[in-house]
Amino acid sequence: MKASRHTIAQLPKIELHCHLDGSLSLQMIRLLAEKAGIALPDSDEALRQKVTAPEMSESLTDYLAPFDFVLPMLQTAEALTLAAYDLIRQAQADAIRYIEVRFAPTLHTAGGLTLIQVVQAVTRGLAEGEADFQVKANALLCGMRHESLDTVMSVVELFASGDLDHVAGFDLAGGEADGFLASFAPVLEKVKALQIPLTLHAGECGCAQNVLAAVQAGATRIGHGVAIKDCPDSWQALIDQKITLEMAPTSNIQTKAIDQQQNYPFKVLFDAGVRVTINTDNRTVSATTLNAEYAKIADWYDLSESDFRQIGRYAYEASFMTDEQRAALAAEFE
Ligand SMILES: [Zn+2]
């Protein structure tokens, strides 16, 4: 039986792929702008236009423009803590039990914070959110693909610097060129040496080959990975290795990763046995929530409640949560 919207909204969920800077509520943007002395449009409609990507972006680059608008507001420890807490509050409304929140520490040092101070400020907000809401959370640290090798390496080295509380893994994000992994080989070797759980944005706007290279490099999860639809010969290998795709329907169409809904490969991959999951990518930039993304998938395809529970189980199994967090959620997801 096709799952109803009501059932889906209530389902306990896990979100693996959500960017902090793309997911600030309008209310939080107003607060942070005031603290930073940045003027904003009076009407929410005008503000929304500045922080939301057009429904049909010309490209991934176009989609990324709203991030530049909020970044100047995220340059103090207080702002980062508030933003992270605000995201946990939003997660609660989606019935999320566990979320991984990703961000690039190097984008938040313009106000004088060190990388470790940035990370601590965000994870403090996550921990405060955990205490107040029924949501568990960890951070994923991103290197940006347009950055130099040394800069990205400085983020990886944070993992070696001591125990980072509430930090679960590493990712490479930003514009995607075909074959990008080759230039990050030393970073990926270091990630492997430090045994850092790895997810990589790949096959979002680049080619299927990027997905396979990311798996080869040790990623157990792929950010988006939708390009793999062009390479059905490789699906069995993804299934065998339990690789999980972090898909985000609204974002994937906005960025032109997929040209139209009919070609979205979620169901065909799910039916084939590939581990697919549902994510927002960016709540504000894509003007969405996790419940809205689930509802979209439910509208597009004939999926039952047990299918949605299976998708939740894929997210649970692929998450980088601690043993303690996993044990706490086992009853709902195993
Ligand atoms: Zn992303």
Tokens of 120: 């601590």
Q: Give tens-digit pLDDT for 43-100.
A: 999 999 999 998 777 777 778 888 999 999 999 999 999 999 999 999 999 999 999 9
Compute the distance from residue 316 Cα to the ligand 1 centre, in Å. 19
180 part of a folded domain: yes
Compute the distance from residue 280 Cα to the ligand 1 centre, in Å. 9
Whether the pLDDT of residue 331 is over 80: the answer is yes
Compute the distance from residue 202 Cα to the ligand 1 centre, in Å. 9
CATH number at residue 167: 3.20.20.140
Please state the rounded mean pLDDT for residues 267-288: 97
Which of the following is catalytic: 147, 176, 204, 293?
Answer: 204
Residue 116 lies in domain: 5-328
The C-alpha angle with vertex 283 and arms to 279 and 288, in degrees rounded to 5, equals 80
- Domain total of the chain: 1
Cα-Cα-Cα-Cα dihedral sign, residues 306, 307, 312, 313: positive
Residue 109: what pLDDT?
98
The share of the chain scoring above pLDDT 70, in percent, equals 100
239 part of a folded domain: yes
What is the DSSP track for 31-74?
HHHHHHT----SSHHHHHHHHS--SS-SSHHHHHHHHHHHGGG-
Compute the distance from residue 173 Cα to the ligand 1 centre, in Å. 7
Residue 62: what pLDDT?
76
Among 27-36, 197-206, 298-307, name the one with the lowest average pLDDT: 197-206
Please state the rounded mean pLDDT for residues 139-158: 97
Mean pLDDT score across all residues of the chain: 95
What is the DSSP track for 112-140?
S--HHHHHHHHHHHHHHHHHHSS-EEEEE
Please state the rounded mean pLDDT for residues 25-34: 98
Q: Catalytic residue at 204? A: yes
13 part of a folded domain: yes
Residue 64: what pLDDT?
81
Q: Single out the residue of 79, 76, 78, 82 nearest to residue 113, CA to CA.
A: 76
Total residues belonging to the chain = 334
CA dist 29 → 36, 71, 73, 83 (Å): 10, 10, 8, 9
Compute the distance from residue 270 Cα to the ligand 1 centre, in Å. 20
The share of the chain scoring above pLDDT 90, in percent, equals 87
The C-alpha angle with vertex 156 and arms to 193 and 223, in degrees rounded to 5, equals 95
Please state the rounded mean pLDDT for residues 272-297: 97
Whether the pLDDT of residue 163 is over 80: the answer is no
201 part of a folded domain: yes
Residue 176: what pLDDT?
86
Compute the distance from residue 19 Cα to the ligand 1 centre, in Å. 6
Q: Give tens-digit pLDDT for 307-328.
A: 999 999 999 999 999 999 999 9
53 part of a folded domain: yes
Residue 205: what pLDDT?
77
Residue 1: what pLDDT?
86
Compute the distance from residue 18 Cα to the ligand 1 centre, in Å. 7
Compute the distance from residue 103 Cα to the ligand 1 centre, in Å. 10
Whether the pLDDT of residue 145 is over 90: the answer is yes
334 part of a folded domain: no
CB 321 within 8 A of CB 21: no
Residue 83: what pLDDT?
98
333 part of a folded domain: no
Compute the distance from residue 1 Cα to the ligand 1 centre, in Å. 32
